[in-house]
């Protein structure tokens, strides 16, 4: 009887292991890796216009930190890099609807987004900073002072800048814009008091267009990790991207991209104004 029970237990374990292996095999077959390799291209979703991550140069080409990151990822997979321009508000839906294979668009990893899509490890961290109109130069010295109904704050619609304004500056009036430059220009042109957005963009905008009309409170007041996003339920692709990020961080490629786009502003003259 004991021998029979042992044999039955072994048989059950074998069947369970076989079923688990079959399930893993089926999951691997459905990985985005396979469709990318079959098509011979990696479709990277992004929203141009966010300096210095994704921009259009004077010749109409896409340039920026995220563009270079996408090219390197495509190269690592041995396929063609295909940029897919998508409005940021519809980016998550586009990924789920298979209009792109990955999102590399300075997207902050948030719990809300993570309920719908998966993120690889953080590839860069940023935070919200504030550009303020010069008329407040003698009165505003910190972002907390803007939490007042007399101030109009501008942010970008559907982004973590809007979330930050709602959370940290709830007493202030606020208005959203669909594009970063349009929103920042509201402050530069004295139609609003302050602009809240990711610090890298604010540094660039202030240097290019806001020096004479605004000042920058450049100490970020939020922590925002940016991640490459993929569809849920794809552990193999997630593993590949994380290993890719680990590789480029240790072979010099990441540092070259970071120094080119984040540490310097040598690319200013290339971008469309």
Q: Are 29 and 237 spatial neighbours (Cβ–Cβ below 8 Å)? A: no
Q: What is the mean pLDDT of residues 152-168?
A: 95
Measure the CA–CA gap between 139 and 193, rounded to whole angstroms: 12
Residue 263 belongs to a domain with what CATH number?
Answer: 3.40.190.10
Domain assignment of residue 72, yes or no:
yes
175 & 250 share domain = no
251 & 174 share domain = no
187 & 72 share domain = no
115 & 43 share domain = yes
Number of domains in the chain: 2
Q: What is the mean pLDDT of residues 109-133?
A: 95
Give the confidence band of 23 by pLDDT, cuts at 50, 70, 90: very low
185 & 69 share domain = no
Q: Is the pLDDT of residue 25 over 70?
A: no
pLDDT-above-70 percentage for the chain: 89
Lowest-pLDDT range of 10-19, 59-68, 246-255: 10-19
pLDDT in tens, 61-96: 999 999 999 999 999 999 999 999 999 999 999 999
Tell me, letter by letter, the H, E, C secondary structure of the chain.
CHHHHHHHHHHHHHHHHHHHHHHHHHHHHCCHHHHHHHHCEEEEEECCCECCCEEEECCCCEECHHHHHHHHHHHHHCCEEEEEECCHHHHHHHHHCCCCCEECCCCECCHHHHCCCEECCCCEEECEEEEEEHHHCCCCCCHHHHCCCCCEEEEECCCHHHHHHHHHCCCCEEEEECCHHHHHHHHHCCCCCEEEEEHHHHHHHHHHHHCCCEEEECCCCCCEEECCEECCCCHHHHHHHHHHHHHHHHCCHHHHHHHHHHHCCCCHHHECC
Q: For position 195, what pLDDT does the model report? A: 98
Which residue range is the domain that position 135 belongs to?
128-222
166 & 155 share domain = yes
Domain assignment of residue 15, yes or no:
no
Domain assignment of residue 167, yes or no:
yes
Domain assignment of residue 133, yes or no:
yes
37 & 121 share domain = yes
Domain assignment of residue 163, yes or no:
yes
240 & 116 share domain = yes
Domain assignment of residue 230, yes or no:
yes
53 & 116 share domain = yes
Q: Are 155 and 176 spatial neighbours (Cβ–Cβ below 8 Å)? A: yes
208 & 249 share domain = no
Which two tokens mark 24? Answer: 């893993």
Which string of b and e fits 173-189 if b means at least 16 CB within 10 Å? ebeebeebbebbbbbbe
105 & 176 share domain = no
215 & 132 share domain = yes
Q: Is the pLDDT of residue 28 over 80?
A: no
Give the confidence band of 20 by pLDDT, cuts at 50, 70, 90: very low
Domain assignment of residue 229, yes or no:
yes
Domain assignment of residue 10, yes or no:
no
């Amino acid at each position: 009887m004991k021998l029979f029970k042992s044999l039955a237990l072994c048989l059950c374990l074998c069947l369970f292991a076989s079923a688990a292996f079959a399930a893993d095999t089926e999951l691997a077959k459905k990985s985005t890796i396979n469709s990318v390799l079959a098509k011979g291209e990696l479709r990277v979703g992004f929203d141009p216009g966010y300096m210095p991550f994704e921009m259009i140069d004077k010749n109409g080409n896409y340039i920026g930190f995220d563009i270079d990151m996408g090219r390197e990822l495509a190269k690592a997979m041995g396929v063609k890099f295909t940029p897919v321009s998508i409005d940021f508000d519809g980016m998550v839906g586009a990924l789920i609807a298979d209009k792109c294979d990955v999102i590399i668009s300075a997207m902050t990893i948030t719990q809300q987004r993570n309920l719908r899509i998966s993120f690889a490890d953080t590839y860069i961290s940023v935070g919200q900073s504030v550009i303020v109109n010069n008329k407040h130069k003698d009165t505003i010295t910190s972002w907390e002072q803007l939490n007042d109904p007399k101030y109009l704050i501008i942010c970008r619609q559907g982004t973590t800048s809007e979330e930050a304004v709602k959370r940290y500056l709830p007493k202030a009036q606020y208005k959203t814009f669909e594009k970063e430059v349009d929103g920042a220009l509201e402050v530069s042109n004295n139609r609003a008091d302050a602009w809240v957005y990711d610090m890298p963009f604010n540094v660039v905008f202030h240097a290019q267009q806001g020096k004479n009309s605004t000042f920058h409170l450049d100490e970020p007041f939020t922590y925002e990790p940016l991640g490459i996003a993929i569809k849920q339920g794809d552990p193999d692709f997630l593993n590949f991207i994380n290993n890719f990020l680990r590789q480029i961080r240790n072979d010099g490629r990441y540092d070259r991209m970071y120094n080119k786009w984040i540490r310097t502003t040598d690319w200013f003259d290339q971008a469309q104004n």
